[in-house]
Amino acid sequence: MRLFPNAKQVKNKLLKEFSGQKILDVGCGQNKTPGTIGIDRRVSDKVDLNRQRDISHNLCEFPWPVADNSIDLVICQHVIEHLPDTVKTLEEFNRIVRPGGKVFIETPHYTWFEAYRHYEHCHMFSFQSFDYFLKGNKHYKTAFTYADKAIFFDDLTYALGVGFLANWFPRTYEKRFAFMFPATSFHVTFSVDK
């Protein structure tokens, strides 16, 4: 059990907020979040609780077989770093999520040793990597605003106070202290404002 803030707490809060609505678990494989629709190359053929089928699809092929504005919440947990085209993936999230919906992304922080260990990781991300996709950037077809974001650490690093300071001063943390006190992951939760 984790004592300090972590992505599981954030995800559970979002699942509660969007309970009974249409939730897409991206890149879930066989470990789909209960009560959601899974989309991945490796999904089960079982029908979920909402009587909606999981979608077997290569996430690198766009567009995905999901209707525009049809999803209330997207969960993308430890997947985006595996996908070669970050821009198209985020634009696809923008296309499929209804206005007022949310997109939850968790990815390893670039300082965490696991970020470099997996051979399928295409990208490493910093806490501010997703700032480019906020509403108003004319170079991308996204209309996101931040609903929440946080950097996560192991409990010892939080106990030392680093986690709290890093979340208050993320740019200073990443510039000066990130490799001394590596973060495990971070999340961004976007609200879709189109």
Domain coverage including residue 72: 7-192
Q: Residue 132's closest CA among 121, 140, 122?
A: 140
What are residue 148's DSSP bridge partners?
189
Q: How is 90-143 classified by DSSP, letter by letter? A: HHHHHHHEEEEEEEEEEEEBTTSHHHHH-TT----B-TTGGGGGBTT-TTSS--
Q: Residue 133's closest CA among 70, 57, 76?
A: 76
pLDDT band at 1 (very low <50, low <70, confident <90, very high): low
> What percent of the chain has pLDDT above 70?
93
Q: What is the pLDDT of residues 92-149, one digit of tens each?
A: 999 999 999 999 999 999 999 888 888 889 999 999 999 999 999 999 999 999 999 9
Q: For residue 123, tell me if it sits in a domain.
A: yes
Q: For residue 140, tell me if it sits in a domain.
A: yes
Q: For residue 62, tell me if it sits in a domain.
A: yes
Q: For residue 57, tell me if it sits in a domain.
A: yes
Q: For residue 53, tell me if it sits in a domain.
A: yes
Q: For residue 181, tell me if it sits in a domain.
A: yes
Pairwise pLDDT comparison (146 vs 50), residue with the higher score? 146
Classify 9 as helix, strand or coil.
helix
Distance CA 123, CA 71 (A): 26
Average pLDDT over residues 173-193: 97
Average pLDDT over residues 46-56: 62
How many domains does the structure of the chain reveal? 1
Q: For residue 2, tell me if it sits in a domain.
A: no
Q: How far apart, in Å, do the first and last CA atoms of the chain sit?
A: 38
Q: For residue 1, tell me if it sits in a domain.
A: no
Q: What is the pLDDT of residues 156-166, one digit of tens each?
A: 999 999 999 99
pLDDT of residue 123: 94
158 is written with which tokens? 């939080």
pLDDT of residue 31: 84
Average pLDDT over residues 154-182: 96
Give me the CATH number covering residue 12.
3.40.50.150
- Give pairs for 58-66: CB < 8 Å, separation 24+: 59/26, 59/27, 59/83, 59/89, 60/84, 60/85, 62/88, 62/92, 63/92, 63/95, 64/39, 64/92, 64/96, 66/24, 66/39, 66/96
Distance CA 106, CA 80 (A): 8
